[in-house]
């Protein structure tokens, strides 16, 4: 079982993030990108790096700043004086798992450089399209408390993230366990436990998981209901429904089932849908957000009985 091996191995470096690890595993099997939001020092980078190592994938980290340029991410051409030719120097985007730290610190122009990479799995340097490695997943982080020197992510870019995962402080016992392990020097970096062939097979088998008409109707009803809520400016997109379908199939596969059940959809609805919903300002001030909308939608939409 891929998930069990990944959780056990990352447990050497991280404490108490089982649900987050499961969501990230679902995302990479589903071929989707992840937005991680959490305060500094909560192990976003450590988690991302060790996650990449467990599946033996090339990892790179891009620290976003207001002055970073698109060429710093995707690469550029240069003149090689030894050969008298122009050559391409590939940027850090050419990796399997790319951690884009503090994505909202980059300018809109630089953020837009990620759009082609995330959607098309390729970049263009001096008019030449270059394919990115397979698999390719962007793990982008955001600090929820930073308000200065940041740029709001465009709605189109947010919609390209399959999931948004909120990282919070660990429960008391987990944080104490982390401190004990740090004190005893028991943490170590994760090693590769999943082969590339295993990951490819997981993708093929997950896509063969059966989704009944009732489950498809349920997914559509959830997505549609977010659009009808009077508190919402923009509800979930068709891409949100597509991502909910794919991730539900992978969730079922990881649990050893050949079919999707409503609980798969319900478990994934908040991380897959909530970040795509834009709430009217007058309701935002009352603490209403995308998560609130999705929770209430899940209570209103009738669960199919199969």
Domain range annotation of the chain: 1-184, 208-300
E strand or H helix at 291, and its extent? Answer: helix 290-300
Give the number of other Cβ atoms within 10 Å of residue 4's Cβ: 10
All residues at 6 or more sequence positions from 85 whose CB lies less than 8 Å from its CB, including other chains: 79
Residue with tokens 């429904």: 241
Q: Which two tokens stand for residue 96?
A: 């399997």
**Measuring CA to CA, which residue among 233, 228, 224 is closest to residue 273?**
224
Q: How far is residue 33's CA from residue 136's CA, in Å, rounded to a whole number?
A: 8
Residue stretches of the chain with pLDDT short of 50: none
Q: What SS3 class is residue 189? A: coil
Q: How far is residue 225's CA from residue 236's CA, in Å, rounded to a whole number?
A: 9
Q: Which two tokens stand for residue 105?
A: 């610190």
Model confidence, pTM: 0.88
The confidence score (pLDDT) of residue 147 equals 57
E strand or H helix at 116, and its extent? Answer: helix 108-120
E strand or H helix at 115, and its extent? Answer: helix 108-120
Q: What is the DSSP letter of 158?
A: H
All residues at 6 or more sequence positions from 98 whose CB lies less than 8 Å from its CB, including other chains: 59, 60, 61, 62, 92, 136, 137, 138, 139
Instruction: Give 94-116 pLDDT, tens digit per residue.
Output: 988 888 888 888 888 888 778 77
The secondary structure of 265-279 as a DSSP string is HHHHHHHHHGGG-EE
Mean pLDDT over each residue of the chain, to the nearest integer: 87
**306: exposed, middle or buried (C-beta count within 10 Å: 0-12, 13-18, 19+)?**
exposed
- Looking at 1.10.8.80, 3.40.50.1000, 3.30.70.20, 1.20.1050.10, the CATH number of the domain 208-300 comes to 1.10.8.80
Cα end-to-end distance, the chain, whole Å:
27
The secondary structure of 199-242 as a DSSP string is HHHHHHHHHTSB--HHHHHHHHHHHHHHHH-TTEEE---HHHHH
Q: What SS3 class is residue 232? A: strand
The confidence score (pLDDT) of residue 306 equals 62
Q: What is the CATH number of domain 1-184?
A: 3.40.50.300
**Measuring CA to CA, which residue among 109, 108, 105, 110 is closest to residue 91?**
110
The confidence score (pLDDT) of residue 213 equals 95
């Amino acid at each position: 079982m891929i998930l069990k091996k990944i959780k056990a191995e990352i447990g050497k470096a991280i404490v108490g993030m089982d649900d987050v690890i499961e969501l990230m595993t679902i995302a990479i099997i589903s071929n989707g990108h992840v937005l991680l939001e959490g305060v500094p020092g909560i192990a976003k980078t450590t988690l991302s790096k060790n996650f990449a190592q467990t599946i033996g994938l090339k990892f790179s980290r891009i620290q976003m700043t207001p002055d970073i340029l698109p060429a710093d991410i995707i690469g550029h051409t240069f003149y090689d004086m030894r050969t008298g030719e122009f050559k391409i120097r590939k940027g850090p985007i050419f990796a399997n798992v790319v951690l884009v730290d503090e994505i909202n610190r980059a300018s809109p122009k630089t953020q837009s450089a990620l759009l082609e990479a995330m959607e098309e799995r390729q970049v263009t340097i001096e008019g030449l399209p270059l394919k990115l490695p397979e698999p390719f997943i962007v793990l982008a982080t955001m600090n929820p408390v930073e308000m200065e020197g940041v740029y709001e992510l465009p709605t189109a870019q947010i919609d390209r993230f399959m999931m948004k995962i909120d990282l919070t402080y660990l429960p008391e016992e987990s944080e104490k366990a982390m401190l004990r392990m740090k004190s005893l020097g028991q943490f170590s970096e994760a090693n590769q436990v999943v082969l590339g062939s295993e990951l490819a097979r997981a993708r093929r088998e997950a896509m063969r998981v059966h989704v009944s008409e009732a489950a498809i109707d349920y997914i559509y009803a959830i997505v549609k209901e977010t659009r009808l809520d009077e508190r919402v400016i923009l509800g979930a997109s068709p891409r949100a429904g597509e991502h909910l379908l794919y991730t539900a199939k992978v969730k079922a596969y990881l649990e050893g089932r050949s079919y999707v059940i409503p609980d798969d959809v319900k478990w994934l609805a908040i991380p897959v849908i909530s970040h795509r919903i834009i709430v009217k300002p007058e309701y935002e001030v009352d603490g209403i957000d995308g998560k609130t909308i999705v929770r209430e939608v899940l209570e209103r939409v009738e669960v199919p009985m199969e």
